C-alpha cells in the first residue's frame, strides 16, 4: 500500500460501523413502515439529522480529520436507538 494512504486507515473502522448502522436504520425503517408507524420514522430521521448537524459543528476543531465520519455514525446510532425503542413499544414482548 502506498504510504500516503496510511493516514486513512484510522477512519476505515468508523466508516464500517457507520455502514452497518445505516443498514440497520434502513431495516428498522422497513419494519416501522410495514406497521404504518410513519410518525416514528419521522422522529428517527429528525433526531438523527439533528445529531449529525450538531456533532459536525462540535467536532470541527478537535477531530478535523474524522469530522465527517463521526457525526454520520452518531446520527445513525441515534436514529437506530429511536427505531428500536419505537419497535419495542409496539411489540413489548420483543
The model's pLDDT over 28-60, given as tens digits with 9 standing for 90+, comes to 888 888 877 788 888 888 888 888 888 877 776
Please give the model's pTM, rounded to 2 decimal places.
0.70
Residues 49-64 as b/e (b if ≥16 CB within 10 A, e otherwise) read: eebbeebbeebeeeee
The rounded percent of the chain whose pLDDT value lies above 90 is 1
Amino acid at each position: 500500500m502506498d504510504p500516503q494512504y496510511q493516514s486513512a486507515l484510522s477512519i476505515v473502522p468508523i466508516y464500517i460501523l457507520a455502514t452497518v448502522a445505516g443498514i440497520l436504520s434502513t431495516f428498522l425503517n422497513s419494519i416501522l413502515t410495514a406497521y404504518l408507524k410513519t410518525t416514528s420514522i419521522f422522529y428517527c430521521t429528525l433526531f438523527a439529522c439533528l445529531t449529525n448537524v450538531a456533532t459536525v459543528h462540535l467536532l470541527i476543531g478537535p477531530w478535523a480529520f474524522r469530522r465527517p465520519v463521526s457525526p454520520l455514525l452518531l446520527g445513525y446510532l441515534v436514529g437506530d436507538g429511536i427505531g428500536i425503542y419505537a419497535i419495542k413499544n409496539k411489540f413489548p414482548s420483543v
